A and B are shown apart, each in its own frame.
Chain A
Amino acid sequence: MENPHSATLTQEQGSSLWRDGWIRLCKNHMALFGLGVMVFFCVIALLTPWIAPYGYEQQDLQLGASPPSAAHWLGTDIFGRDMLTRIMYGSRVSLLVGFVATGVALVIGVLWGTVAGYAGGRVDAVMMRLVDILYALPFMIFIVLLMVVFGRNILLLFLAIGAVEWLTMARIVRGQVQNLRHQEFIEAAFSMGLSRWIIIRRHLIPNTLGPVIVYTTLTIPNVMLLEAFLSFLGLGIQPPQSSWGLLISHGVESMEEYPWLLIFPGLALSITLFALNFLGDGLRDALDPRASKD
């Protein structure tokens, strides 16, 4: 819930709302830790082609699967490929899916929710009824179906996951916009002759940002989990591309002899999910003080 008084704040005080949030976030050590981990992982993922210790496809068949050592910090897989390198390349796909699919959900959800909340009346009823119907659909199964029918295409994966995750976003934004719509500053903007689109873009959407940021942060781990789940079943990312889910699935096949092939990609995924969830919880407490922590 946005602070209703933010409407009457002047520019300097308006920015202090965000500064307040930042100060609150800084007091939450777990959230800061989560933020740090995510920044670190993202930088590593971006720089991977230049800083990876070995080539992505570089094999050392004579070495085979070897446990962690000085030359290969996280060991090597059965083809003698460096695990650290493979996990770093895998992080690029996993994080990319997480961010892009969440971005798709964000755009659809915010636009849908804003239009429904702003239009109100019958338009709102129809739009939200559609969301209700889609909510009841078993989407997990539909994604599996989509991946089977249209081939395992990474672009489709983005769209399919994004198409699932926008529903909650639309509901949150609509609730926000409905609350804001009848407040004086929107009426003032309207009486000044601003067009609807400008009111939506300049006044409504920015005021919904707090909850949207919080929910976005909590959507990214869900999306990454979904991708890993599909890749684990062999329905997501296909080799030679790699993601953490795929590495875990390969690791399971030989975990008895070479447990590090399972443990390290698993750790990478778990730490990321951990960091994102803590960051999301921290952001909720910081930006959304009235929302209860469940």
Chain B
Amino acid sequence: MLRFILSRLLQAIPVLLVVITVTFLLVRCAPGGPFSAEKAVPPEVVRALEAQYRLDQPIWQQYLSYLGDLAQGEFGPSFRYPGRSVNELIAGGLPITAELAFYAMLVAILIGVCAGVIAALRPNTPQDYLPMSAAMLGICMPSFLMGPLLVLVFGIWLEWLPVSGWGELAGDKVLPAITLGTGYAAYIARLSRGGMLEVMSQDYIRTARAKGLPERVVVLKHALRGGLIPVVAFLGPAFAGLLSGSFVVETIFQIPGLGRFYVQAAFNRDYTMILGTTVFFATLIVLFNLLADIIAVWINPKMRHQLSRSR
């Protein structure tokens, strides 16, 4: 197990290097220098700025010194807002985005697993069709449509919940979390239904029933663990999706999180900011994929067995 984790960690390094290199080159290839939009700036100011941001060095030297900065946990300065750095914005935005993602994940897993298991218990009956149709609806209703519609109905027409903000008014976290979570709830419902259906037809479930265990114990104690393996495998990609989903949700609800900063940086063409944030996001996503892989092996005895046998 330890060797598996270590080898996976080692595999993550080339991936991260590719991400950093490609992002760095892309940002450097961008047409128009970072200062070209500004009005006529005296050449000495330009030179001073270029020196400050190391633009006067050859590109490989810039690349190497950026790698050095990254190794020390420095993601870089912001072009647009002198004095602010990517690290500061991450420090300010990350806790908010993490909280949003956590609530959204909670919504997704609670609703998704319940709906999936309920549907799998009686396949091809209304008890199956109803939650699965709702899940299909959730998949076909992207967050940028779901969010505004929720705001329209619950925020503006019914006036039950605040329409924007984060942690200012009571209940203002409800709509963003639901908006971000429902799409994933739908996927998780489909995955857990599929997983449960497969597990419920296995011999060990028949054995558990033959022992005279009540159905509740059979489902919750014996079937659920195996049935949720596809869901766990989905958590890594889901996390990446949550991050990009936060771009939209934080923009709609005006939440000062990382996603909104990223979209703003994209609009302002704040290249160093984009570079730093992209590298940070990529690292997070690679780490979470790793974590999801490890959990998948850990809860699946078959894979654990294969792992120890292949050694």
Contact = CB atoms under 8 A, between A and B. Distances in A.
19 contacts: A138-B19, A138-B243, A138-B278, A138-B281, A138-B282, A140-B240, A140-B241, A140-B243, A141-B262, A144-B247, A145-B266, A228-B144, A251-B148, A252-B252, A262-B149, A266-B149, A270-B140, A277-B139, A294-B191
Contact of A274 (B140, B241, B274): B140
A256 B159 CA distance: 12
Category for how many chain B residues contact A: 35 or more
A235 B266 contact: yes
B267 A234 contact: yes
Contact of A262 (B148, B278, B285): B148
B272 to A, nearest CB: 13
Nearest to B139: A277
B19 A292 contact: no
Contacts of A274: 136-137, 140
A146 B26 contact: yes
Contacts of B219: none
Interface residues of A, number: 43
B58 interface: no
Contacts, number: 122
Contacts of A202: none
Interface in B1-45: 12, 14-15, 18-19, 22-23, 26-27, 29-31
Nearest to B270: A148
Given A252-B148, A256-B156, A292-B194, A141 B141 contact: no
Interface in B121-149: 136-137, 139-142, 144-145, 148-149
Interface string A248-275: 1101100110010011001001100110
A225 B251 CA distance: 17
B148 to A, nearest CB: 5
A9 interface: no
Interface in A187-217: none
Q: Nearest 9 A-B pairs (CB), nearest first?
A: A294-B194, A140-B244, A273-B140, A149-B30, A232-B144, A138-B285, A274-B140, A252-B148, A136-B15
A151 B27 CA distance: 12
B106 interface: no
